[in-house]
């Protein structure tokens, strides 16, 4: 087994290399309106089998009222008033979700993953959030790397009047897949989004359309997404995450690492902390 899938109480799902030491990149996938992280876990696990060095993080949006859906409460990254251009300017809550993605990116960077080894991806509203966030990352005087890429599936650019690309992020590669028969986020919206983003300075924006595809994804699009990801996130052992030394881990941390790696049987009968440390070390070194 190349990956391990874990679920957290806040709805976040993580699909990561079984051997955590093999991680050298991260992809964050945001679901669409009314969905949860479960909606894309199969896609993440499929991509993980082709990208065994990538950790996938799938957060779940907060449940809140959505104006367009008669005020019904559902998982939503921000409020949606309507699908027309004018209504698209009213995205109450998008700043909060933007900060949440920035927090996830920050945590991965704290763990040793560079920003140019991180991809933001999403479907529909989640794709819109990824596009809006990924090109407006905070920068500093010393400059900073852009993301490895952004993937938008059946999405669009939200709140365009407040959108500006951060200095230095203009070359961020963007793949936008869109169904030609999408009745919700129409193809014209995707085309206009691309035009606006490029007018703002983006230089690498690919919009690929799929005949007969409605508001969904299909195997052909996922295959194209994989090609894009393999291009922007090639395997690179020099970028592997820097994990905490097992000898510095607590018994609780060691047992958690052993459980995540599926080493429960090998741990049966172990009593001393040094035995747990040795087990984790041997696993990370590929000796198990």
Give the strand order in the sheet containing 25-30.
3-7, 13-17, 54-58, 25-30, 118-123, 149-153, 174-179, 205-210
Which residue among 16, 124, 160, 193 is the active-site one?
124
Beta-strand (E) ranges in the chain? 3-7, 13-17, 25-30, 54-58, 63-66, 72-75, 118-123, 149-153, 174-179, 205-210
Question: Considering 46, 204, 215, 216, which one is annotated as catalytic?
Answer: 215
> What is the spatial distance between Cα 168 and Cα 149, in angstroms, rounded to a whole number?
14
C-alpha 36/C-alpha 31 separation (Å) is 6
Q: Enumerate residues 6+ apart whose C-beta is below 8 A from 17.
A: 2, 3, 4, 23, 48, 52, 53, 54, 55
182 is catalytic: yes
Give the integer Cα–Cα distance in Å for 97 and 61: 8
User: Distances in Å between the alpha carbon of 112 and those of 24, 27, 70, 202, 256?
Assistant: 9, 14, 44, 27, 20
Two tokens, residue 271: 């009593």
* 160 tagged catalytic: no
Closest CA to 172 of 210, 114, 116, 217: 116
Known active-site residue 145: no
71 torsion bin: left (phi>0), alpha (psi -120 to 50), beta (else): left
DSSP 19: S
Strand (E) positions, 131-281?
149-153, 174-179, 205-210
Would you please indicate which residues are annotated as catalytic (active-site) residues? 124, 182, 215
């Amino acid at each position: 087994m190349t990956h391990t899938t874990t679920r957290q109480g806040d709805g976040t799902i993580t699909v990561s290399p079984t051997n955590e030491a093999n991680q050298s990149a991260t992809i964050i996938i945001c679901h669409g309106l009314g969905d949860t992280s479960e909606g894309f876990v199969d896609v993440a696990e499929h991509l993980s089998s082709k990208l065994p060095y990538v950790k996938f993080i799938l957060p779940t949006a907060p449940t809140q009222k959505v104006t367009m859906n008669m005020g019904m409460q559902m998982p939503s990254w921000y409020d949606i008033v309507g699908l027309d251009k004018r209504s698209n300017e009213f995205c109450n809550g998008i700043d909060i979700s933007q900060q949440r993605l920035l927090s996830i990116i920050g945590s991965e960077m704290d763990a040793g993953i560079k920003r140019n080894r991180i991809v933001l991806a999403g479907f529909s509203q989640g794709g819109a959030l990824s596009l809006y966030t990924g090109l407006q990352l905070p920068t500093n005087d010393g400059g900073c790397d852009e993301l490895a890429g952004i993937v938008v599936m059946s999405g669009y650019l939200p709140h365009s009047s407040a959108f500006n690309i951060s200095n230095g992020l203009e070359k961020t590669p963007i793949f936008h897949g869109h169904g030609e028969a999408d009745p919700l986020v129409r193809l014209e919206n995707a085309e206009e989004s691309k035009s606006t983003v490029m007018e703002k300075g983006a230089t690498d924006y690919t919009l690929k359309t799929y005949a007969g595809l409605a508001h969904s994804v299909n195997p052909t699009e996922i295959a194209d997404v994989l090609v894009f990801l393999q291009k922007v996130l090639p395997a690179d052992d020099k970028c592997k995450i820097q994990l905490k030394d097992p000898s510095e881990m607590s018994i609780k941390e060691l047992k958690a690492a052993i459980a995540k790696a599926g080493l429960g049987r090998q741990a049966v009968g172990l009593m001393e902390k040094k035995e747990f440390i040795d087990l984790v070390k041997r696993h990370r070194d590929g000796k198990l």
